[in-house]
Amino acid sequence: MTANLITFDLVAVVLTAAAWLAAGTTAASRLSLPAAALTALGLLLTVARVALTVLLGTSGGWWFVQEKVVLELPLQCVTAVAAVALSAPRLTRAAMARTALDGDTTAVAVPLFAAGYAAAAGLVVTLLLGYPTTVAVALITVAVVVLAVVVTWRLLDGRPRGIMLSAGGTAVVLGLVGVLTTFAGIPKTDAGGGPAVAYPAAKGMSVASLTGPTSPRPGGTVRRYTLDARTATITLASGKRVAAWTFDGKVPGPPVTAVQGDLVEVTLHNVDIAAGVSIHWHGYDVPAAEDGAAGLTQEAVTPGHSFVYRFLADQVGTYWYHTHQDSNQGVQKGLYGSLVVAPRQAKAAPTDLTLPFHTFGGTAVIGDHDGVETRSAAPGSPVRLRVVNTDNVTHRFTLAGAPYRLVAADGNDLNEPGPLTRTALSLAAGGRYDLQLTMPSASVALLADDDRSGGLRLVPGGGKAAAPPDTTAWPDLDLTSYGRPAAQPVTSSSAFDRRFTLVLDQGLSLSGRTKGRDWTVNGHTFPDVPTLVVRKGDLVEMTVVNRSLATHPWHLHGHSVYVLSRNGDPVTGSPLKLDTFDIKPGEVWKVAFTADNPGLWMVHCHNLVHASKGMSLSLAYEGITEPFDMAGMHGD
Ligand code: C2O
Ligand code: CU
């Protein structure tokens, strides 16, 4: 609904601008009838825009209409009323008499053009600046409209007048004041309504000192891995060759596995990745120094150098790892792998498959298989499928041939998940789903994006898999109502210490750092988005609003969040603890977490193309200094 209204309003504003400008042009050409009709149309569309804005605000909230309510519509209404008052009487008279507009046309045409410029300015503000509109933006917009009107007037009128000069001069001054204020006073931090926290702390702990234990928990072992980051040409199952960036010459990289309580120790060595490399443990709440966010928690590892990551495998479930230096390019090219931690007690399902899904130049790959991969499983035996979306966009997974349960999302078990059939699972970029089923006596198919020429087949004993059904019509599971409620540490009625609001959009950065229509957070692009600051122990609510027409898989490092609501509707199923959640166009998500992992953490869109074009910020705890240089993090 909200997304549709955003689109309707964009169409409406284009039509409004066109109608008023056409009215002005026809009036200047003395065409009284078309000019009168276009004026009526412009007025009608202006009223429609007011109505659309009311609907959009009611449906989505203030973030979707702020710039329209405080700037665009007032400007539009003032100019439209002026046009009707100044131009309509003479136009209607001439049109009714079916004669050409006579006498001086300037006085009739200029107000119509003014209404057109106001509409066009509104379009530009919405497309390029959006939320939040500031006084600076308002000054610049009004100045541009006034200048355009003055120039039009001068051109139509043919002779200069004193009032033109003074109006134009005032506009230039206003515009300059606007431009100057844009660059002044961008806050460095956002305290979310809580007590201020200085960041970076002048003195305090370096994030690099925030390491964890160096030995496993009692009964655990040390899991040692060495991962060599290097370029390699890999061959997919079909024989297709891909020039990749790899860990150990493989894509995906070697699976990192552990049992709960083990100590994971990974030595990363960069052989020849010139852009540099690091390893981020996606979804794993490691100590900050081990988080691998190059530029924030460590320096990128350059060729010939190494870095050792060490953390306790306390969280059970399905996770993944990937480079976090020039991550857009690096992950796309293959610098990723899976991280799975098994519980110490329970024994694993006899068929337990970890299935990272990726695309290489449009070729869908599960593990290192493009095309169909077939595995066998004994009928009646339990099967666990761990699907990891390592790609940049949402993918849809369907399982045909047996009822299944979605038992975990982002590594966290769901409470009492019910059986599912003919139901699709749409998985955010960066997210993970664990599916559990009992192997039937016929074959089972797991499809990605309903593609029957690829995916996984499970066959009972040997034999061939049956052709999977067409799954395109299967509805998506709504995660917010799946499973059963249970107690969770934070709810919407918790007493929050800080509430942050992040409005995601596409436009120009207000700080002017980036060029073109980048992906913005509260009107800024990385690194100019104010850093969210917290104190250890704070209860934090985060509202994420998507004003744009693209989906944003929102990801927070170092913490998993509980979903409180989506578009105002509370979660009615199992508690949803996620580290990556898809915010579709027009959606508003409220999530919450406890600030219990001191450090500096990235918060960003996991469509890494968006992250590299600005949609990224950081979260800082009190008392942490900032020792590194963020320059290359997501690349661009
Ligand atoms: Cu999986 Cu900052 O990312
Ligand atoms: Cu995004």
pLDDT band at 628 (very low <50, low <70, confident <90, very high): confident
Is the pLDDT at 533 greater than 80? The verdict is yes
Band (630; pLDDT cuts 50, 70, 90): low
Distance 591 CA to ligand 2 centre (A): 17
The bridge status of strand 241-247 relative to strand 222-235 is antiparallel
Kind and range of the H or E element at 130?
Answer: none
Ligand 1 atom with minimal separation from the 331 CA: 1
Q: How confident is the model at residue 291 (pLDDT cuts 50, 70, 90)?
A: very high
Ligand 1 touching residue 634 (CB < 6 A): no
| Cα–Cα dist 16/35, whole Å | 14
The percent of residues in the chain predicted with pLDDT above 90, rounded, is 87
Evaluate: CB of 432 within 6 angstroms of ligand 1.
Answer: no
Residue intervals in the chain for CATH 2.60.40.420: 189-208+487-625, 215-346, 349-477
In this prediction the pTM is: 0.94
- State pLDDT tens for residues 433-443: 999 999 999 99
**Across residues 156-181, what is the average pLDDT?**
88
For residue 617, give every residue at least 6 positions away whose Cβ sits within 8 Å of its Cβ, in sequence order, or none.
502, 521, 526, 529, 530, 531, 532, 602, 603, 604
CATH 2.60.40.420 fits 349-477, yes or no: yes
Indicate the range of 18-22, 179-183, 533-537 predicted with least confidence: 179-183
| Mean pLDDT value across the chain | 94
Q: Rounded CA gap, 444 and 230, in Å?
A: 36
Answer whether residue 514 shows pLDDT above 80: no
Confidence of residue 157 (pLDDT cuts 50, 70, 90): confident
> How confident is the model over 526-543, as a mean pLDDT?
96
Please check the confidence at residue 223 and state whether its pLDDT lies above 70: yes
Looking at residue 515, its pLDDT comes to 67
Closest by alpha carbon to 303, among 334, 324, 275?
A: 275
282 lines ligand 1 (CB under 6 A): yes
Q: What tokens does 140 get? A: 């610049």
Q: Is the CB of 590 under 6 A from ligand 1?
A: no
Is residue 430 in contact with ligand 1, taking CB distance under 6 Å?
yes
79 CA distance to ligand 2 middle (Å): 36
Q: What mean pLDDT is predicted for residues 108-131?
A: 94
pLDDT-based confidence at 633, cuts 50/70/90?
A: low
Average pLDDT of the residues in 239-245 = 95
**How does residue 627 score in pLDDT terms, banded at 50, 70 and 90?**
confident
In this prediction, residue 631 carries a pLDDT of 63
d(CA 146, CA 152): 10
Residue keyed to tokens 């509104």: 122
What's the rounded mean pLDDT across residues 267-296? Answer: 97
**Calpha distance 444→424 (Å, rounded):** 15
**What's the CA gap between 337 and 368, in Å, rounded?**
11
For the Cβ of 606 lying below 6 angstroms from any atom of ligand 1, the answer is yes
- Nearest ligand, measured from the Cα of 544: 2
Q: How confident is the model at residue 632 (pLDDT cuts 50, 70, 90)?
A: low
Tell whether ligand 1 has an atom less than 6 A from the beta carbon of residue 566.
Answer: no
Residue with tokens 């300015």: 121
Instruction: Please enumerate in sequence order all residues whose Cβ is within 8 A of that of 322, keeping only pairs 6 or more positions apart, or say none.
Output: 279, 280, 282, 330, 331, 335, 336, 337, 390
Tokens of 576: 């949803």
Ligand nearest to the CA of residue 279, numbered in listed order: 1
384 lines ligand 1 (CB under 6 A): no
Q: How far away, in angstroms, is 410 Cα from ligand 1 center? A: 13
Question: What are the two backbone dihedrals, phi and then psi, of residue 388, each rounded to the nearest 5 degrees?
Answer: -120, 125
Contact between 491 and 571 under an 8 Å Cβ cutoff? The reply is: no
Residues whose beta carbons lie less than 5 angstroms from ion ligand 2 = 552, 605, 607, 610
Of 177 and 469, more confident: 469
| CA of 604, closest atom in ligand 1 | 2
Average pLDDT over residues 159-167: 86
What pLDDT is attached to residue 121?
Answer: 96
Atom of ligand 1 nearest to the CA of 557: 2
pLDDT at 636 over 60: no
| Nearest ligand for residue 519 CA | 2
**469 prior amide bond cis, ω within 30:** no
Percentage of the chain with pLDDT > 70?
A: 98
- Rounded Cα–Cα distance for residues 595 and 621 (Å): 8
- 327 C-alpha to center of ligand 1: Å? 8
Residue 282 Cα: closest atom of ligand 1: 1
At 510 the pLDDT is 66
Task: Name the closest-CA residue to atom 1, ligand 1.
Answer: 282
Class of domain 215-346: mainly beta
In the predicted structure, residue 261 carries a pLDDT above the cut 80:
yes
What is the spatial distance between Cα 481 and Cα 477, in angstroms, rounded to a whole number? Answer: 9
What's the pLDDT score for residue 103?
86
Half-sphere exposure of 587 (CA within 13 A, CB side): 17
Task: Indicate whether 449 pLDDT > 60.
Answer: yes
Dihedral angle, C-alpha 266, 611, 199, 496, nearest 10 °:
-100
CATH of segment(s) 189-208+487-625: 2.60.40.420
Atom of ligand 1 nearest to the CA of 611: 2
pLDDT one-digit tens code per residue, 332-369: 999 999 999 999 988 888 999 999 999 999 999 999 99
pLDDT in tens, 593-616: 999 999 999 999 999 999 999 999
pLDDT at 513: 65
Is the CB of residue 602 below 6 angstroms from any atom belonging to ligand 1?
A: yes
